[in-house]
């Protein structure tokens, strides 16, 4: 799905899931983006990304699950969110209106490839990446292109985590790509999950929560 097409999609958002609906020729395509079963996993990622406190970056707002857990942290100073889709932007503004007013929650609108370059290097203490894949060649591995940018944006003692696509360990492929971006301290924990039978994008009862330190 190309960027312009993504922005024109008609999303369906409720407490159970976020679904994108778009047309491919004469066909109606329904793409599951996020579901409520991710709550314990999002909580774990939020705990990882806020563990050092300070300034935290979240790429992709989605249903706002991880954002909610991040905002509960007393350690953090600021919480910057990069989001491009109008529906999620509107949802974030409504859900975190008070925090936005206090400048604790900083919403930057646009695709991360465009917006992140405006942010100075070594600014964040923690980064969480969970963005919808838009490139055909990237597919589910949407976090790979962000690795180098994550390394640039992180402070020297910062921590990076992301929505993984691996159920039990970080593969050598992931490690090599993380290492080529500059990361050397690569660890993880396993989060137990219970995706429903109708979930199309995850079929395992566990998923890796990366703990990548700069």
pLDDT values of the chain reduced to their tens digit, one per residue, 214 residues = 566 667 777 788 899 999 887 777 787 777 888 999 999 999 999 999 999 999 999 999 999 999 999 999 999 999 999 999 999 999 999 999 999 999 999 999 999 989 999 999 999 999 999 987 654 443 444 568 899 999 999 999 999 999 998 999 999 998 999 999 999 999 999 999 999 999 988 999 999 999 999 9
Question: Per-domain residue ranges for the chain?
Answer: 38-213
pLDDT of 6 reads 72
d(CA 60, CA 143): 11
pLDDT of 138 reads 38
- What is the Cβ-side half-sphere exposure of residue 190, based on CA atoms within 13 angstroms? 8
pLDDT of 12 reads 86
Distance of CA 133 to the CA centre of its chain: 11
**138 neighbors 113 (Cβ within 8 angstroms):** no
Q: What is the CATH number of domain 38-213?
A: 3.40.50.150
β-strand 17-24 against 27-35: which pairing, if any?
antiparallel
pTM: 0.92
pLDDT of 29 reads 75
pLDDT of 131 reads 86
Neighbouring C-beta atoms of residue 45, cutoff 10 Å: 28
- Which position has the token pair 């400048």? 103
């Amino acid at each position: 799905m190309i960027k312009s097409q993504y922005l024109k999609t008609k999303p369906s958002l409720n407490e159970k899931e976020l679904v994108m609906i778009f047309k491919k020729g004469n066909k109606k395509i329904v793409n599951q983006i996020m579901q409520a079963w991710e709550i314990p996993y999002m909580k774990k990622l939020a705990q990882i990304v806020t563990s050092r406190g300070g300034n935290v970056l979240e790429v992709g707002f989605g249903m706002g699950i991880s954002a909610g857990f991040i905002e509960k942290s007393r350690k953090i100073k600021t919480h910057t969110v990069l989001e491009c889709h109008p529906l999620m932007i509107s949802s974030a503004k409504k859900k975190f209106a008070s925090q936005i007013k206090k400048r604790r929650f900083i919403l930057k609108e646009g695709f991360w490839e465009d917006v992140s370059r405006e942010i100075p290097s070594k600014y964040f203490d923690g980064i969480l990446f969970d963005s919808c894949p838009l490139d055909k060649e990237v597919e589910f591995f949407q976090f790979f292109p962000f690795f180098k940018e994550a390394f640039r944006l992180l402070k020297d003692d910062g921590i990076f985590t992301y929505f993984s696509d691996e159920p039990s360990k970080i593969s050598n492929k992931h490690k090599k790509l993380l290492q080529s971006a500059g990361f050397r301290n690569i660890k993880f924990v396993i989060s137990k999950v219970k995706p429903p039978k109708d979930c199309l994008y995850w079929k395992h009862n566990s998923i890796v929560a990366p703990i990548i330190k700069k």
